[in-house]
């Protein structure tokens, strides 16, 4: 197919698909070209182990998408095209090596009982935080949903000052720059409760001592209490398949297995793309690149020296390894059967251990005690496995994209082809220690290394599932670079979108929807 479109989009991740759908709804003719065989980027599902066992490739938690401004506008349309969610009332817990556990339920009484079994003081603190969340949420979500422009930030600051006063606004500012450890140690007494929440920082590259990370354990904890979690019915690809169907129903085109070779531009203005198969596709209004920043100079052949240096210097987070398990039964958790009812079980015993793991991965070392996120989606969505069977979604954080050695002193391989199996065995040994007998329940497994993630989706550089560190120097006004948090580039009509653009990682489709609204005028 050759042709002309109003908008040509590179990559079929959920941000580009959201942008394409909004533009199509505004009457634009859109075409999306994806290099992989399946659309969705990190949001897709497949039978990676045995027939009938459906595993989410990377993203499992779809709460941000279900609660997003984009879904508020297009939810009914996507639902008509098959998008369906499963509510989760027990979103997360942590298992500890002493046989105890703590977890969150949308039933406050249940949450307080679980936390209170470890610390009565922390249960009282939790109840106070949860009671104040409704008042705090509009300010925090208002910031995270704002455009990163000085006018928008000034408006946000003015509204916050009116609502909270100077003292309350300064307190919020202090909180926004605090590290997870600083806030957690100031707020909670017991190390286990600190670890329960601190594990969420690791999902977005916020180790315990990284400034600016306190907000994420707080938001995940309070949102889990207030709203629970949402996963996709039958798999996370319910979102992707509905987006593609909705775009096509509006006359748009989505092609997979179609890499883009270069972005065509002349005299500072983008005019289309050249596909790897030689076809030239014209974009009358815009080209939207849903790519990692480092890929943009290669596609353009260069823009301005300053912008290209910023894109080349964009920092990625340490990687992730996935283990997909087809199970004969759920793990028999040592802490008790209550953990079998949780969607996520973190095995992240302390803030100190999380900090050590993070530093080891940054140094290129295979961590000696990696953090595990054990997803149990079939507890809430039995359709993902044959009757009576289950899938486990095991995310290993952190794992270096390039291996320089082994912090445990046991694995000699420094390439993932040889290191994958022994490192997976290390992770499974940790799981076995918390849930004895789990290995005997495994019917099949599929290991996905950081390099496998990047090979499938080049945006996941080194297995970085959030497409770039969210540290303060690369967040807010600086994501992906100062002056370009709206996805603009030095080339007119060429825009960047995806997790590398404000508001960053997650499944909320924020960068794609913000960009499409700006381009369409509403």
Instruction: Pick the range with the lowest mean pLDDT from 165-174, 385-394, 449-458.
Output: 165-174
- pLDDT per residue as tens digits for the range 255-276: 999 999 999 999 999 999 999 9
Task: Give pLDDT, residue 146.
Answer: 78
Q: Contacts for 250-254 with beta carbons within 8 Å, 24 or more apart? A: 250/21, 250/24, 250/25, 251/24, 251/29, 252/20, 252/21, 252/24, 252/29, 252/30, 252/31, 252/32, 253/1, 253/5, 253/30, 253/31, 253/32, 254/12, 254/17, 254/20, 254/31, 254/32, 254/34, 254/39
- pLDDT per residue as tens digits for the range 273-313: 999 999 999 999 999 999 999 999 999 999 999 999 999 99
Q: What count of Cα atoms within 13 Å lies in the side-chain half-sphere of residue 178?
A: 21
Q: Decide if pLDDT at 171 tops 90.
A: no
Instruction: Pick the range with the lowest mean pLDDT from 85-89, 472-476, 513-517.
Output: 472-476
Task: Give pLDDT, residue 70.
Answer: 97
Task: Give pLDDT, residue 2.
Answer: 59
Of the candidates 413, 389, 390, which has an alpha carbon nearest to the alpha carbon of residue 403?
A: 413
Mean pLDDT of 148-174: 81
HEC per residue, 101-112: EEEECCCHHHHH
Query: CA-CA distances (angstroms) from residue 89 to 108, 129, 216?
Result: 11, 19, 20
- pLDDT per residue as tens digits for the range 378-420: 999 999 999 999 999 999 999 999 999 999 999 999 999 999 9
- pLDDT per residue as tens digits for the range 216-256: 999 999 999 999 999 999 999 999 999 999 999 999 999 99
- Around Cβ 278, how many Cβ atoms within 10 Å? 8
Residue 244, burial from CB neighbour count under 10 angstroms (0-12, 13-18, 19+) = buried
Q: Decide if pLDDT at 162 tops 90.
A: no
The token pair that represents 130 in the structure block: 């949860």
Task: Give pLDDT, residue 355.
Answer: 98
Q: How far apart are CA 245 and CA 228, in angstroms?
A: 28
Between these two residues, 168 and 258, which has the higher pLDDT value? 258
Q: Decide if pLDDT at 1 tops 60.
A: no
- Domain borders along the chain are 3-46+64-84+235-314+467-520, 92-227, 318-456
Biggest alpha carbon distance in the chain?
67
Q: 369: which DSSP letter?
A: S
Mean pLDDT of the chain: 96
Helices (H), 1-94: 14-25, 63-66, 69-80
Mean pLDDT of 373-380: 98
Task: Give pLDDT, residue 156.
Answer: 75
pLDDT bin (cut points 50, 70, 90) of residue 460 is very high
DSSP state string for 13-39: BHHHHHHHHHHHHTT--EEEE-SSSST
This prediction's pTM: 0.96
Residue labelled with tokens 């991740």:
13
- pLDDT per residue as tens digits for the range 37-78: 999 999 999 999 999 999 999 999 999 999 999 999 999 999
Under CATH, to which class is 3-46+64-84+235-314+467-520 assigned?
alpha beta
Task: Give pLDDT, residue 247.
Answer: 98
Task: Give pLDDT, residue 110.
Answer: 98
Q: Decide if pLDDT at 153 tops 80.
A: no
Instruction: Pick the range with the lowest mean pLDDT from 116-125, 141-150, 467-476, 485-494.
Output: 141-150
Instruction: Pick the range with the lowest mean pLDDT from 161-175, 263-277, 494-508.
Output: 161-175
Of the candidates 178, 211, 207, 210, which has an alpha carbon nearest to the alpha carbon of residue 195?
A: 207
Task: Give pLDDT, residue 180.
Answer: 98
Q: Decide if pLDDT at 426 tops 70.
A: yes
């Amino acid at each position: 197919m050759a042709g002309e479109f109003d908008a040509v989009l590179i990559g079929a991740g959920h941000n580009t698909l959201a942008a394409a759908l909004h533009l199509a709804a505004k009457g634009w003719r859109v075409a999306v070209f994806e290099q992989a065989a399946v659309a969705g980027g990190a949001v897709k599902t497949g039978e990676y182990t045995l027939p009938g066992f459906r595993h989410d490739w990377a993203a499992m938690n779809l709460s941000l998408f279900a609660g997003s401004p984009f879904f508020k506008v297009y939810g009914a349309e996507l639902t008509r095209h098959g998008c369906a969610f499963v509510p989760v009332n027990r979103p997360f817990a942590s298992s500890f090596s002493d046989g105890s556990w703590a977890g969150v339920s949308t039933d406050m009484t249940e949450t307080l009982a679980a936390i209170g079994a470890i610390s009565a003081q922390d249960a009282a603190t939790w109840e106070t935080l949860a009671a104040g969340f409704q008042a705090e949420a509009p300010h925090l979500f208002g910031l995270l949903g704002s455009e990163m422009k000085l006018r928008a930030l000034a408006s946000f600051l003015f509204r916050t000052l009116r609502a909270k006063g100077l003292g309350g606004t300064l307190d919020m500012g202090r909180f926004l720059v605090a590290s997870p450890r600083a806030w957690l140690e100031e707020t909670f007494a017991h190390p286990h409760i600190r670890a329960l929440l601190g594990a969420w920082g690791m999902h977005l590259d916020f180790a315990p001592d990284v400034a600016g990370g306190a907000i994420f354990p707080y938001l995940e904890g309070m949102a889990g209490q207030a709203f629970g979690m949402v996963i996709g019915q039958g798999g996370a690809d319910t979102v992707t398949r509905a987006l593609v169907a909705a775009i096509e129903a509006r006359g748009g085109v989505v092609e997979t297995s179609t890499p883009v070779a270069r972005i065509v531009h002349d005299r500072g203005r983008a005019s289309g793309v050249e596909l790897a198969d030689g076809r030239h596709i014209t974009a009358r209004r815009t080209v939207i690149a849903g790519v990692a920043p480092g890929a943009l100079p290669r596609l353009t052949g260069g823009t301005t020296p300053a912008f290209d240096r910023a894109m080349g210097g964009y920092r990625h987070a340490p990687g992730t390894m996935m283990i997909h398990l087809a199970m004969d039964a759920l793990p028999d958790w040592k802490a008790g059967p209550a953990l079998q009812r949780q969607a996520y079980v973190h095995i992240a015993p302390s803030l100190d251990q999380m900090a050590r793991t993070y530093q080891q991965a940054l140094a290129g070392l295979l961590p000696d005690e990696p953090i595990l996120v054990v997803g149990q989606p079939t507890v809430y969505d039995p359709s993902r496995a044959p009757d009576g069977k289950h899938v486990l979604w095991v995310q290993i954080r952190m794992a270096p994209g390039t291996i320089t050695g082994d912090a445990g002193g046991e694995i000699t391989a420094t390439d993932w082809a040889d290191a994958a199996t022994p490192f997976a065995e290390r992770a499974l040994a940790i799981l076995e220690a918390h849930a004895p007998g789990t290995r005997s329940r495994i019917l099949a497994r599929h290991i996905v290394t950081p390099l496998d993630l990047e090979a499938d989706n080049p945006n996941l550089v080194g297995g970085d599932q959030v497409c770039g560190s969210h540290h303060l120097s690369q967040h807010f006004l600086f994501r992906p670079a100062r002056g370009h948090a709206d996805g603009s580039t030095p080339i007119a009509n060429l825009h960047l979108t995806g997790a590398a653009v404000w508001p960053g990682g997650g499944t909320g489709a924020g960068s794609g929807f913000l960009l499409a609204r700006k381009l369409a005028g509403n």
